[in-house]
Amino acid sequence: MLTPAAFQLYAQWVGIATLVFGTIAGLGFLFKWGIRFRLVGITGFSIVLTVGLFALSVVPFTRTAVPGAVRFLTVFDSGADQAVIVVPATITATELDATLRQAASDLFSVGRLSRGRQQLTIRARAVVHPEPGVTQPLVLGQVKRSLFDREDEQMEVEIFSENLAKLPPSPAKTLADS
């Protein structure tokens, strides 16, 4: 993964190239070269690249990995204070807790609308098939976290044990029970 220091180095090199392209474009206008307008385009594009790389070097981006979390998909995100993720139907309670914490970290953004609320609620659901041809979504748990504080120490993780018990037993669980 690229670090902000790497982006800063790239921004410096592209910035130098931008100055070189700008100088060549200036010479193109001075000597009325036929490619002078293309050189202006190249210079403009180089400016955009330089600004973008500089912005990536200033804004820190981190991804926290929560041990024990399983892969999930975001199936609904209001962009404000509600989100829903889907998890595998073979998930355990400890994996669900870790996955909810991972989702709370991944889906945090300072650009979310609060709509008068102070918390982001993320619900985890799984899809089960109680009988052939019937699909039923089960909400397994939820996490509530602050919309404004990235390092939220007051995060509330709630697991719905009654719905977790409705999940079909996985082959690993049945072998462990034997």
Residue 44 CB: number of other CB atoms within 10 A?
Answer: 14
Distance CA 166, CA 163 (A): 5
pLDDT tens digits for 110-142?
Answer: 778 777 778 999 999 999 988 898 989 999 999
pLDDT tens digits for 62-82?
Answer: 678 899 999 999 999 988 889
3-class DSSP assignment, residue 151:
coil
Contacts of 107 (CB under 8 A, 6+ apart): 74, 77, 83, 120, 122
pTM beyond 0.75: the answer is no
Domain ranges of the chain: 4-58, 73-166
Distance CA 127, CA 86 (A): 8
Distance CA 86, CA 135 (A): 14
The DSSP 8-state label assigned to residue 114 in this structure reads -
Contacts of 41 (CB under 8 A, 6+ apart): none
Amino acid at 141: G
**Helix orientation angle between 4-30 and 36-58, rounded to the nearest 10 degrees:** 160
Average pLDDT, the chain: 89
